[in-house]
Structure 1
């Protein structure tokens, strides 16, 4: 897997420890210690991206928030949008969004991959309104689902494009560059709004 990532924070424990961010597998260990940085963390609010994804069958384009994981239980993922190139057809795509609990005992996994009739290779807006009680997800300004649970700690933003080839030899230089074109990302603090 290859990843190009923009993230607004970083945290890791000591070398060879299991303390660190986004432990997607129990065997993950710290190979290179990092100085902790909290560039932008939020705790509730509205997050929106306007973007278009690549339909290449090895690509995954995504925007999500993850817990900073300075405590293992502060580890959930709040996925605003995840688009897998192999799930894109002409004017139709399966779009992922929702909550993954990881090591947060207060949450349950509630991640969805739903089909929508739209061309994700053109610009669309994907949003999430994150309150203390729930998370409401939006596609082009319309509510697509509300989840009645919510992470309760600061989270950092992760904007990524992944390449997940079926085998190492499936990487073809002619398929580059791969793109996840972002028009904007905007974030609002709902506590200070008049809405």
Structure 2
């Protein structure tokens, strides 16, 4: 493969997408969010509908995720933390249970809003390409994750962090992002996260890619490999795309804080 060096990092070319048509394909050009692909709540079982519901627009240029001035915190216990998220599946146990997708906190998450298991797009191996414009609004973060559904086994909780981009890390020509693997409750994995600088300046759409399967995980940006990891979750994963505000409300902040998702393509290679 050819190599390209930018900002002191060597990028290999990513493999071409599979020749078959993607089984997840959305340009967000419809009049409403597609219910066959997306749940417009952030981990709704751990919270309540008015707190987990995403704020967003479909305006002809993709999905604009928003944090609004009047948006409530995701959970009172986690304040300040406000989220607008879309995800391709969800699972939880009964009210009061500690079973559910993405038990990302160690301090006793329990189900507050029981729901039915919905697995809309949850490959155990595959590829996903997500084209976004990251937020540059202070105190916000754009992230894309693939997280274990946990509907078969609570150990199936590992995560592929395709990227996490803090607004403060978005520069004019380059952006710093966190990528890698998070084990969470899966003792078959180990957490392996790193920071990379990628050619994605402020206000510029750019495409992130994750490819995972028995050979491990590759994460890339703009057609180039940003990181290789010798491990991958081998169970159904839910795609999550979200904007966070973690710094709390500020009287002089401009709202809404926004990030944009232009396109998603996914191939289930299970």
TM-score (norm: length of structure 1) = 0.89
Q: Distance in 2 between matches of 1:111 and 1:180?
A: 23
Shift of 1:161: 0.9
Q: Distance in 1 between matches of 2:202 and 2:124?
A: 29
Q: Which of 119, 122, 144 lines up with 1:63 in the alignment? A: 144
- Report what 1:157 is aligned to: 239
| CA root-mean-square deviation | 1.7
Describe the SS at the equivalent of 1:186.
Answer: strand
- Report what 1:5 is aligned to: 85
Q: Which runs of 5+ in 2 are unaligned?
A: 1-80
> Are 2:180 and 1:98 aligned?
yes
Matches within 5 A, 1:66-145: 66-70=147-151, 71-145=153-227
Shift of 1:56: 1.2
Determine which structure has the larger strand proportion and give its number.
Answer: 1
Contact 2:179 2:227 in 1 (8 A): no
> Are 2:102 and 1:22 aligned?
yes
Q: Which of 135, 159, 170 lines up with 2:250 in the alignment? A: 170
Shift of 1:52: 0.6
CA deviation digits over 1:48-106, x for unaligned, max 9? 11111111121111111111112210001111121111222332321111110101111
CA deviation digits over 1:154-188, x for unaligned, max 9? 111111111112xx44265x622222211211012
Q: After TM superposition, where is structure 1 displaced by more than 4 Å over at least 4 residues in a row? A: none
Q: 1:55 to 1:37 in 2, by over 3 A?
A: same
Matches within 5 A, 1:32-71: 32-70=113-151, 71=153
Q: Distance in 1 between matches of 2:242 and 2:169?
A: 17
CA deviation digits over 1:2-59, x for unaligned, max 9? 1111111111112122111211212211122122111111111111111111111211
> Are 2:253 and 1:185 aligned?
no
Shift of 1:121: 2.6
Q: Distance in 1 between matches of 2:261 and 2:102?
A: 23
Task: Using the TM superposition, name which of 109-118 and 92-101 deviates more.
Answer: 109-118
